[in-house]
Amino acid sequence: MNPSFQHAMAEATRLTRAGDLQAATAAIQAALRGSGVDTRPAGVDDCVIDLDLPEVAPVERRGEFLAGRYRDATGSRDYKLFVPPGYRGQPLPLVVMLHGCTQDPDDFAAGTGMNDAAVAQDVFVLYPAQAQTHNSSRCWNWFKHNHQRRGRGEPALLAGMTREVMARYAIDPQRVYVAGLSAGGAMAAILGDAYPDLFAAVGVHSGLPTGSATDVKSAFAAMKGGAAVAATGGSPPTIVFHGDRDTTVHPVNGEKVLAASAGAAGADTERARSANGRSYTRRVYRDGAGRVVAEHWAVHGAGHAWSGGSARGSYTDAKGPDASAEMLRFFLANRQPGMPQ
């Protein structure tokens, strides 16, 4: 068989499987013409070949969900990495997602639906896994003084893991973000404060501000409301989600996270109801130049759960507004300071 004919037919097969039947038909026509086969019925000058090709459903864009392990001088952790289906080596954004206590990357990905949200935007999503050997409930150790600063403990390890993924794939260094739930939200706030040169924006869901505790005792006090936390003024733009019926981490902690975004001169307030059922109040904070520096979403009637999440994962509330979609929107509107938008 003619090699060029074989190649053309292979391409037609690929197009058929991809669901592009029109292009597949054209490829087969070209292959037959190139082979010298007369594709026209007798007495007809030209025709369109009517091929009996099978019905092919559109190919679902899934991406890959890969397991990995990171190790450096501070320790090691497993992780899962979502590689979007549109990745072809071009620079793309990265969101680091930090799970809450008792959770793991698979549970957190299923509950938040962040991978599904990331498909349309072509965004990588990294899910570090806390090891039970480092915390019996698999909580990130946000409440320990040696895990709250740049270059130390879990913040250093998570920043190192993020940089390794950036080196392995074509990640846009101006569009790297971090978000988390509960203990993961508290660690996300710490990472934003410790590494503002790495993370362009932060998402804190049902979490706590940096420096709100230094040991287990003060952690429980902070979760119930705790003392005031001084504004640092150095935090990246931050979006906060918190249920106003959260009995695990008091909603006042969401307000305290916003205090780190100093310079917010005032807020525009919107009250609305989610298509899923819960009402919410959204406040958008801007600096003196009019740039959005923070958003606060108070989800009315919600407890300690990811807003708009799926029952496939733990600690989710399907009735609330979609926190994953709103965080992605907020993140992608921000780049590292001084970079073109």
Burial track 55-74 (b if 16+ CB lie within 10 A, e otherwise): eeeeeeeebeeeebebeeeb
Contact yes or no for 314/102 (Cβ under 8 A): yes
Q: Tokens 């029109």 identify what position?
A: 22
Question: What's residue 321's pLDDT?
Answer: 97
Closest CA to 147 of 186, 105, 106, 121: 186
Tokens of 111: 């509950």
Contact yes or no for 333/284 (Cβ under 8 A): no
pLDDT tens digits for range 320-335:
999 999 999 999 999 9
Contact yes or no for 206/181 (Cβ under 8 A): yes
Contact yes or no for 209/264 (Cβ under 8 A): no
Question: What's residue 58's pLDDT?
Answer: 42
Other C-beta atoms within 10 Å of 96: how many?
28
Tens of pLDDT, residue by residue, the chain (341 residues): 454 555 556 555 554 554 455 555 555 555 555 544 444 444 434 333 343 434 434 444 688 999 999 999 989 999 999 999 999 999 999 999 999 999 999 999 999 999 999 999 999 999 999 999 999 999 999 999 999 999 999 999 999 999 999 999 999 999 999 999 999 999 999 999 999 999 999 999 999 999 999 999 999 999 998 766 666 567 899 999 999 999 999 999 999 998 876 555 578 999 999 998 999 999 999 888 888 999 999 999 999 999 999 999 999 999 999 999 999 999 999 998 754 44
* C-alpha to C-alpha distances, 107 to 66, 139, 222, 311, nearest whole angstrom: 14, 14, 26, 10
Closest CA to 310 of 104, 120, 100, 113: 113
Question: What's residue 11's pLDDT?
Answer: 58
